[in-house]
Amino acid sequence: MKARQEKGPDLRILITNDDGIQAPGLDTLQQIAAALSDDVWVVAPETDQSGAAHSLTLHEPLRVRKISERIHAVKGTPTDCVIMGVRHILAGEKPDLVLSGVNLGHNIADDVTYSGTIAGAIEGTLLGIPSIALSQALDRDTPAETRLETAMRHGPDLLRKLLAEGWPTGILLNVNFPDRDPDAVTGIAITAQGKRDQDYLRIIDRMDARGKPYYWFGFNAYSAEPEQGTDLWALREGKISVTPLCLNLTHTQTCRKLMLAFDSETKLGDTAASTAAKAGARS
C-alpha cells in the first residue's frame, strides 16, 4: 500500500526537527513545505534535541508554547512533538505528510539510530502518515558555513517527485543533501544505509576548575572509502541521498533459521509463522 499522493494547497503538512524551534534549518523546511502547500503546521522542540533518537518524555509534563496559530514549541523530544501535533494540536485533522528537519549535519549510516530528526519521521510513520527526514551535510571543521540554500533549492522538486511516486506504509524516507553549493550537486541517488568504522567517534576528556573530569563525544574525519550505492558514497559524490528505511527490524533470514533450529522443541503459532512469512516477502 503506497503513501498518499495528494499535493497542492489541500496537502496538510506537519513539520518538526531536533535542532529546536529557533534553528535555521526549521525555517528552511517551512519554506520548502510552503512551496508544496498553504496548509503547513510547525510543532518543534523548545530546545536542541540532537541525539535524542526515538525517545519519549515520560517523567515530567509536556509544556506547549503557542507561538502563532500554526507554530507551536514543545518542551520535549521530536517524538513528543509529532505525537502532540497529530493527536492534540491537529486532533481530528490528521496531516497528510510529516517532514522532519532540515537538520544541520547529515544523518546517514549509523546516525539513523541516534538521530532525533529521523525519529520525527519514524513517529509520523508509526502514526500512519507518510514521513520524510531531511538533513543538510556540513563540514564539521567549519560548522558555521552551512549550505541550507542547497536543501532550499532542491527540496521542493525532490519532494514533489517522491510524493508523486509514493512509497509503502511502514517505510520512511531519509533525505540527505550534500555539502555543496546548489549548482554543484551531481544528481539524486537512491541509496542503502551505509556503515562507518567505529573509530569515527572519539571520547574527549577534560578537567573542570575543581579538578573533576568530564567528557565530550567528538567525531573524527571519515577517511575510509565508502561502499558504492550507500548514503555515505552518495554524499561523497556530491549527490542527494534518498534512503528508504524500514521500521520492522526483524531479520527474516535469521528468523527462518531459528524457527528451523527450534522446530523440534517449540511449535510456533500460526500468527508468528505468518508474521515471519509476511516479513520475508518484504525483504
Say how far apart CA 238 and CA 186 lie, in whole Å: 5
What letter does residue 110 receive in the DSSP assignment?
G
* pTM (predicted TM-score): 0.88
pLDDT tens digit sequence for 147-166 = 999 999 999 999 999 999 99
Say how far apart CA 259 and CA 272 lie, in whole Å: 10
Strand ranges, E, within 192-252: 201-207, 213-219, 239-246
CB 19 within 8 A of CB 50: yes
Count the alpha carbons within 13 Å of 48 in the hemisphere toward its beta carbon. 7
Q: Which domains does the chain have, with CATH numbers?
A: 12-246 (3.40.1210.10), 252-282 (no CATH)
Contacts 24+ apart (CB under 8 A), 257-264: none
Say how far apart CA 105 and CA 143 lie, in whole Å: 8
Say how far apart CA 175 and CA 163 lie, in whole Å: 13
Which residue type, as a one-letter code, is found at position 228? Q
Percent helix, strand, coil in the chain, to 5, is 35, 25, 40
pLDDT tens digit sequence for 174-227 = 999 999 999 999 999 999 999 987 777 789 999 999 999 999 888 776 667 899
Helix then strand count (H, E) for the chain reads: 7, 11
What letter does residue 226 receive in the DSSP assignment?
P
What is the structure's pLDDT at 92? Answer: 87
pLDDT tens digit sequence for 213-263 = 999 888 776 667 899 999 999 999 999 999 999 999 999 899 888 988 887
pLDDT averaged over every residue in the chain: 89
Q: Which of 152, 25, 14 is nearest to 72 (CA)?
A: 14
Radius of gyration of the chain (CA): 20
Average pLDDT value for residue range 106-134? 97
Q: Is the dihedral of CA 248, 249, 253, 259 positive or negative?
A: negative
Say how far apart CA 160 and CA 174 lie, in whole Å: 15
Q: Which of 74, 86, 221 is nearest to 141 (CA)?
A: 221
